[in-house]
Amino acid sequence: MSNNVASWGSFIKSIASYSGDLASMTAPPFILSPVSLTEYPQFWAEHPDIFVAIAEEADPEKRILLVTKWFITTLRGQYASRNEQLGSEKKPLNPFLGEIFMGKYQPAAGTPTRDIGETILVSEQVSHHPPITAYSIFNDKAGIELQGFSGFKASFSAASIGVKQVGHALVYIKEYDEHYLITLPVLHIEGILSFAPYVELEGHSFIQSTSGYSADLSYSGKGYFSGKKNSFKATISKSAIKQEGKPLYSIKGQWTGTSMVKNEATGKEELFYDSKSTPQYTFSVKPLEEQHEYESRKAWLKVSEAIKLGDYDLISKEKSKIENAQRDLRKAEEAGKPWQSRFFVACDPRVNNGDKYVELSTSLGNKPNSCTNGAPSQQNWRFVREKYDKGEIKA
Ligand SMILES: CCC(=O)OC[C@H](C)CC[C@H]1O[C@H]2C[C@H]3[C@@H]4CC=C5C[C@@H](O)CC[C@]5(C)[C@H]4CC[C@]3(C)[C@H]2[C@@H]1C
């Protein structure tokens, strides 16, 4: 038995009784990814052309369809890209408090794409225990911005790890003064016993717009309603989610494959989205020498090189350098001023600070979603754009 499978076997036994913080659990080197969790928000706009097309659509009924389509385009990168590129899901680097990641989406060289302007990502680890990443993606030319935050709680069973996400995303379209609340799907890690973990989505997530339109998405994997992995269904309605009316549109398919949309009034069915359509945009991060010491790829350089080498001793040596520096910072803060987020501010989820979160999450009613099921998120995180504009760290 190769030592990888042996250590995987003991690793699985160790997590069966594990009740700690999933992000900080020690895992065998071959399951470690050299990528920090602060990089994951980049998957929200892997197709910036579809993101900006939302702001260019004048009809609100077509806009909710475009928002739902754009949301579906984000899922393959978010939840399946490690699997597709590295052969299995991997354990990302656990970001330190204040870690920053930023970059821009550019048309890939040579692809004849129209000029949609710059789409910028700013992401920051606003909490270490529990791990919470706050992020914003904005395109000033199109007048569309997304801000969100995401934490996760894991539950362990012998054969899979359940992961509930805490947080949500808000999209704002300036032209129409329109807001969308997007809740996050529950996921679990399958394939653990067969030594090839991968993410499967489950349950429901929702999109609720101030226009009154809403989308109810439900997910399933192999052996469920469609039998195929990474399946989803969605219904688009005019009323708020809680009134059960006949939907305007029904969508179904695979978020890692193709999906079809049916107009329930006319019965007409057509292709909704094909996720294998080639991504025309690459995400670019400035060169290491121009990066701030808190930016992920600079901060984790030595650790990610050690992970690529599979050199466990070097990984833990380089990791403890970062952890010790963080401990010293926390001690200094106890003595002096507490840590402050560089680009985000925490706010009370019950108080409307103009982003319509209270109105939109209320219209979701008691539907199970990560905004309101269980204890509402202790606090929401919001992007402060002028902190970025006036700051010295730029994408
Ligand atoms: C034996 C246990 C085992 O299989 O361990 C190997 C597993 C890869 C360990 C669990 C890790 O799995 C990773 C999957 C990560 C989520 C993937 C996608 C997202 C969406 C993104 O928008 C927010 C973050 C989130 C939820 C990631 C959170 C961290 C997850 C669960 C990693 C686990 C530590």
For ligand 1, say whether the CB of 15 is within 6 Å of any of its atoms: yes
Name which of 44-48, 116-120, 348-352, 372-376 the model is least confident about.
Answer: 372-376
**What amino acid is encoded at 82 in this protein?**
R
In tens, the pLDDT along 232-244 reads 999 999 875 555 6
For ligand 1, say whether the CB of 75 is within 6 Å of any of its atoms: no
For ligand 1, say whether the CB of 152 is within 6 Å of any of its atoms: yes
Mean pLDDT of 7-29: 75
- Mutate-to-test residue for ligand 1 from 19, 35, 37, 124, highest number of ligand atoms within 8 A of CB: 37
Distance 46 CA to ligand 1 centre (A): 19
Which atom of ligand 1 is found nearest the CA of 192? 4
For ligand 1, say whether the CB of 30 is within 6 Å of any of its atoms: no
For ligand 1, say whether the CB of 169 is within 6 Å of any of its atoms: no
For ligand 1, say whether the CB of 25 is within 6 Å of any of its atoms: no
Distance 151 CA to ligand 1 centre (A): 11
Mean pLDDT of 272-289: 89
Q: pLDDT class for 224, splitting at 50, 70, 90?
A: low
For residues 297 and 289, give the distance between their C-alpha atoms in angstroms, rounded to a whole number: 11
Question: In this model, does residue 315 exceed pLDDT 80?
Answer: yes
Distance 3 CA to ligand 1 centre (A): 23
Closest among 97, 107, 169 to 342, alpha carbons compared: 97
Distance 90 CA to ligand 1 centre (A): 7
For ligand 1, say whether the CB of 251 is within 6 Å of any of its atoms: no
Report which DSSP code applies to 230: T
For ligand 1, say whether the CB of 69 is within 6 Å of any of its atoms: no
For residue 144, give Cα distances in angstroms to 51, 67, 236: 8, 12, 22
For residues 160 and 157, give the distance between their C-alpha atoms in angstroms, rounded to a whole number: 5
In tens, the pLDDT along 285-295 reads 999 999 999 99
Question: In this model, does residue 112 exceed pLDDT 70?
Answer: yes
Determine whether domain 2-203 maps to CATH 1.10.287.2720. yes
Question: In this model, does residue 371 exceed pLDDT 50?
Answer: no
What ranges do the domains of the chain cover? 2-203
- The pLDDT value recorded for residue 225 is 56
Indicate the pTM of the whole model.
0.93
Q: Which residues contact 107 (CB under 8 A, 6 or more apart)?
A: 113, 280, 281
- Mutate-to-test residue for ligand 1 from 44, 46, 89, highest number of ligand atoms within 8 A of CB: 89
ipTM here: 0.95
**Residue percentage of the chain with pLDDT more than 70:** 91
Nearest CA, atom 11, ligand 1: 91
Distance 41 CA to ligand 1 centre (A): 13
For ligand 1, say whether the CB of 346 is within 6 Å of any of its atoms: no
Distance 66 CA to ligand 1 centre (A): 28
Crossing angle of the two packed helices 301-309 and 312-335, in degrees rounded to 10:
160
For ligand 1, say whether the CB of 11 is within 6 Å of any of its atoms: yes
Average pLDDT taken over every residue of the chain:
89
N-to-C CA span, the chain: 46
Question: In this model, does residue 372 exceed pLDDT 50?
Answer: no
